[in-house]
Amino acid sequence: MDITGSVALVTGANRGLGRHFAEQLLERGATKVYATSRRPELVDVPGVELLRVDVTDPDSVAAAAAAAGDVTLLVNNAGLSTGANLVTGDLADIRLEMETHFYGTLSVVRAFAPVLAGNGGGAIVNVLSALSWFSYDGSNAYAAAKAAEWSLTNGVRLELTGQGTLVTGVVLGAADTDMSADYAGPKVPPADVVRAALDGVQTGAWEVLVDDWSRHVKASLAADPNQFYSQPAA
């Protein structure tokens, strides 16, 4: 897909990766970028159009699809991390993770799929995580929700191929954003993540593995899981 001349909508555009997506889409020649957030007044990217979208609120998603009927590129970036585990964590936090990453992403895809079809097919970018493929004590609710979102990404790709919609999953370890502020390990600059993601869209990639860690984790899936989890913490 050629980003030049596209009309994009980015969820969670008020900070982190979402803010960089909005900026780089404009730099690459998108004619319009809808920057969405639960609090759009916090978006400070010059040149964007603001929309309120809470991906866990179907009414706000439907309103956005009605207001942005010219979208050709959808970036599902909105997310959160509660730090909940599955056995002892608060069930409300666990449900919020799933409502945001799985049901929220699905809600946005379902709302905008007809819009994309009407505009020639276009593309969808889902921001995933290497935690789609492994679990980590202290982030198991997030990992489960991201695993579901990864499976969702593969599923909607098959369902939307007939209307000519590219679906690209973007997988990364940790990016240097507010969400990973407490993480002490290596972090990828958010601008690099977005650059790789948009390069992937332009080449028609189904999946973009941003960093060495995501490539390592995916390669490990073919082996005995005990080998992966017995390694020293990265």
Answer yes or no: are the C-beta atoms of 152 and 190 closer than 8 Å: no
Model confidence pLDDT, tens digit, residues 49-59: 999 999 999 99
The overall average pLDDT reported for the chain is 94
Model confidence pLDDT, tens digit, residues 41-51: 999 999 999 99
**What distance in Å separates the CA atoms of residue 132 and residue 220, rounded to the nearest whole number?**
13
Model confidence pLDDT, tens digit, residues 204-214: 999 999 999 99
- Residue 1 maps to a domain: no
**What distance in Å separates the CA atoms of residue 207 and residue 210, rounded to the nearest whole number?**
9
Task: Tell me what percent of the residues of the chain surpass a pLDDT of 90.
Answer: 91
Query: Whole domain around residue 37: which residue ranges?
Result: 7-229
Taking the whole predicted model, whether its pTM rises above 0.85 is answered as yes
- Residue 44 maps to a domain: yes
Domain count, the chain: 1
- pLDDT (average), residues 132-149: 96
- Residue 181 maps to a domain: yes
- Residue 2 maps to a domain: no
- Residue 220 maps to a domain: yes
CATH of the domain at 74: 3.40.50.720
**What distance in Å separates the CA atoms of residue 44 and residue 18, rounded to the nearest whole number?**
11
**What distance in Å separates the CA atoms of residue 52 and residue 38, rounded to the nearest whole number?**
5
Nearest to 37 by CA among 75, 7, 66: 75
- Residue 75 maps to a domain: yes
Q: For the ranges 54-58, 106-110, 180-184, 219-223, which has the lowest average pLDDT?
A: 180-184
Evaluate the CA torsion angle 165, 143, 81, 208 in order and state its sign: negative
- Residue 234 maps to a domain: no
